[in-house]
Amino acid sequence: MSSHSTAPSPTTAAPIDPSAVSILSPQYRATTLGMVALVALFAFEALAVATAMPTVARELDGLKLYALAFGGTLATSVIGMPLSGRWSDRSGPAGPLWSGLGCFLLGLLVAGFAINMPMLVVGRLLQGLGAGALIVALYVMAGRVFPDALRPKVFAAFSAGWVVPSLIGPALSGLIVQHAGWRWVFLGVPILAVPAALVLRPALRRIAADKPAAVEPANTAIAEASPVPWAIGAASGALLLYVGGQYHDIKALALLLPAIALLVLCSWKLLPAGTLRLRRGLPSVIALRGMIGAAFFGCEAFLPLLLSRERGLSPFMAGVILSLGALGWSAGSWFQGHQRQGISRHRVLQMGTIMIACGVGLTTLVVIAAPLWIVLLGWTITGLGMGLTYPSLSVLTLSLSPTERQGANSSALQLSEAIAVATTLAVGGSLFAALLDHSVQAGYLINFSIALLLALLGCVVTRRIGA
């Protein structure tokens, strides 16, 4: 199915000559810049926190909660995403965008003023709830404002929003941690986020004024049962995995088994039919997003900890290595949005997933004391593969979705990633905590191995996405 077979919303109904307009044409410029600015701030925060977290865990004596500080954010984003998708389909993206931004900023403030690791985790949970709502609202804006011909460039611009943060974010975060303190990594973002969001107000007003068919109450998408209770269940299951991983007796079994059952049940209810069975088409697109997201972020969570704690790198140098992955991501995204060789979307996905698997494999060698240049190469290749794959999956999701389902399916795309990453970090973090007193190297190795297996599985799933 293609979006050309459905009636477009009034915001995209006028015929567009792709050669005559761009995402920076006057009618789109402010919207593009505002959306990319928010993405860039998200990128800086994510990369900066990844760099700062080893120092945070050490100063707050919270190494055993290290994985929860990462994955808990993804767990609560599972609640924000379907709530935002349903809200966007009902009344447009403005409400979830402003609510998500407010929750995200509140979480940053709580984390920045944290006096212990549990308080920091609470802040991170609030960040995840807000970020989940906000990112889905941005995706829906892209679908409502931009025509099909410009959407690949919009998502390329989203990834380009990572360029400056990827170049300076982790290294700058390392300098901030060393000279000003880790708290400013959290407290600096709110100052810039509000002005960036205010730029989007004209576009949000136009979307509301157009009253597209997708938001009419009689729509079947609105008649469906609310996914929010299932999202809360999935988030609870992911968090129970983290809690269960802190025990090493019968308590662990009593928590882990219900947590896994709850995650599977809620994922089955939240994601489109056939996603867990890897059915061809849109279900496999959504499943693939979860696999590659879990592979990449499963590595990113533990890579700076390993480099700083085991290899003796400063926060600045660990941040530089993360920057290379993000820079590769931006380069791959730019290529998929501007390539003129006629390479199909399916072929781009295959290339990207193979690069992710190869890159994660090379990066894993850092656990066995490989030279740092191998890690630099591996993480750059991983980022390049992510840049090819991520925007392609976003474009396919929108093109395979009727207008009235863009919010729900964009939400499902994000949900797949959030659930997969949160689960992977919960399982990996539990194993890491269990092995911490016996073999730290084994703890790192098992996490990188899980990421590699997911990347290889992603290469297989691309075959189930039609050319």
DSSP tag of 200: T
Q: How far apart are CA 268 and CA 78, in angstroms?
A: 13
Average pLDDT over residues 211-220: 45
Residue 18 lies in a domain: no
**CATH number (domain holding residue 381):** 1.20.1250.20
Looking at per-residue confidence, does 229 or 361 come out higher?
A: 361
Task: Please report which confidence band the pLDDT of residue 20 belongs to, taking 50, 70 and 90 as the band edges.
Answer: low
What is the count of structural domains for the chain? Answer: 1
Q: How far apart are CA 440 and CA 265, in angstroms?
A: 33
Q: How far apart are CA 372 and CA 377, in angstroms?
A: 9
AA identity, residue 297:
F
Q: What angle do CA 302, 334, 204 make, to 5 degrees?
A: 90
Model-level pTM?
0.68
* Least confidently predicted of 13-27, 65-79, 232-246, 369-383: 13-27
Q: How far apart are CA 439 and CA 432, in angstroms?
A: 9
Residue 14 lies in a domain: no
Residue 242 has a pLDDT of 75
Task: Please report which confidence band the pLDDT of residue 214 belongs to, taking 50, 70 and 90 as the band edges.
Answer: very low
Residue 4 lies in a domain: no
Domain interval for residue 389: 26-464
Task: Please report which confidence band the pLDDT of residue 151 belongs to, taking 50, 70 and 90 as the band edges.
Answer: confident
Residue 2 lies in a domain: no
Residue 210 has a pLDDT of 67
Residue 382 lies in a domain: yes
Q: What's the Cα-to-Cα distance from 446 to each of 311, 439, 441, rounded to whole Å?
A: 18, 11, 9
Residue 237 lies in a domain: yes
Residue 11 lies in a domain: no
Q: How far apart are CA 87 and CA 403, in angstroms?
A: 14
* pLDDT tens digits, 424-456: 887 887 788 777 777 888 888 899 999 999 999
Q: How far apart are CA 376 and CA 364, in angstroms?
A: 11
Residue 21 lies in a domain: no
Residue 264 has a pLDDT of 86
Closest CA to 281 of 465, 443, 440: 465
DSSP tag of 152: H
